[in-house]
Amino acid sequence: LAEVLRSELAATRVSVHLALPPGMATPGFDKENAEKPRVTRAIEAGEPTHQPESVAAALLSSLQRGHYACACGDFGLGLLVRAGSGLAPRTTFWRDLVLLPFIAIIGAFYRRMWDFTVRRDASREDAVEKEYPVLNEALKSTEATFNDALQAADDTLKR
């Protein structure tokens, strides 16, 4: 959305930037952590929690330097921003050019780690019922469709 807005507003005096703030030590973040799914907590385990003041300072500094995307002082988010920037404007073009091969390797490692965490959590007995309600509904629907197809095939063979 930010990239589309940036393109559409390029002829105006409006400047669009993308801010990706990390987890911050706020009451809202505490509430979010209490309510988020178990697998999300597992993926985010060990991630640092930042102070709002340091995130605001990093965002302001990034905006003052004219950066399009700002990870607000979080190293991991910074890697994601660089890896996923696509055709978005880059103010650190040469640094990104040098770092992208390494970021791709690091990103592949993290993607495998996150996928492993999700698969491990989904294999728990209570995971599909409690933690993956959408998947649970899809499985029920697929099972019903599959059973209907088996029944129709069975009826056809009996004729």
At 18 the pLDDT is: 83
At 12 the pLDDT is: 92
At 53 the pLDDT is: 92
Q: What digits encode the pLDDT tens for the residues 136-146?
A: 666 666 666 76
At 101 the pLDDT is: 83
At 117 the pLDDT is: 83
List of the chain residues with pLDDT < 50: none
Check if the beta carbon of residue 54 is closer than 8 Å to that of residue 73: yes
Q: How far is CA 158 from CA 36, 128, 147, 150, 153, in A?
A: 50, 36, 16, 12, 9
At 104 the pLDDT is: 81
Q: % helix / strand / coil in the chain, to the nearest 5? A: 65, 5, 30
At 57 the pLDDT is: 92
